[in-house]
Homo-oligomer: A and B are copies of this chain.
Amino acid sequence: MKFTRPRQLVWQEIRRNPEAHQNAADIYLNLKKKGYKVSLATIYRTLNALVRTGLVRAEGLGEKHSHFEPEEPGEMHGHLICLGCGRVKEFDEPRLRKEIEAVGRRSGFRLEKFSLQVFGFCENCRRSRQEPTQ
């Protein structure tokens, strides 16, 4: 695998702000904004390669496109997604992770990875909807 300029750029862009959960179009536009023109095709091909080599994770967050984040080895987090403002917050609950690993074990699965999306309304959005703070 050649470490070409476009690949550097995509990789940098994903690491720049891991919590941004950028999709392919975001990456394309952000690079363009900085003056780098990398074609969408190359971005998709690079993302697939990075996912295949385990450097990047693709996540579905309730939309029809994928979002990408750096893969942190040994780390596994879930995503809290606000249905009001769309903001995504990561969380890691080791107890939860253990519980999920146990589910896999109990079912005879060799667990490879998991993906957890929690949808709801964040504090801000609940306030603006005049909901009582719980």
- Identify the A interface with B (CB < 8 A): 60, 62, 64, 78, 80, 82-83, 89, 91, 93, 95-96, 99-100, 103-105, 107-123, 126, 131, 134
Residues of chain B contacted by A122 (CB below 8 angstroms)? 107-109
Copies of this chain held together in the complex: 2
Residues of chain B contacted by A95 (CB below 8 angstroms)? 99
Besides A109-B122, A111-B120, 10 new A-B residue pairs in contact (Cβ under 8 A), listed by A number: A91-B103, A95-B99, A104-B120, A109-B118, A109-B120, A110-B131, A112-B119, A112-B121, A114-B116, A114-B118
Q: Does A80 lie within 8 Å of B104, measured CB to CB?
A: yes
Q: Could you name 15 residue pairs across A and B whose Cβ atoms are closer than 8 Å?
A: A62-B115, A93-B99, A93-B103, A100-B116, A108-B122, A110-B120, A110-B126, A110-B131, A110-B134, A111-B119, A111-B120, A113-B119, A114-B116, A114-B119, A116-B116
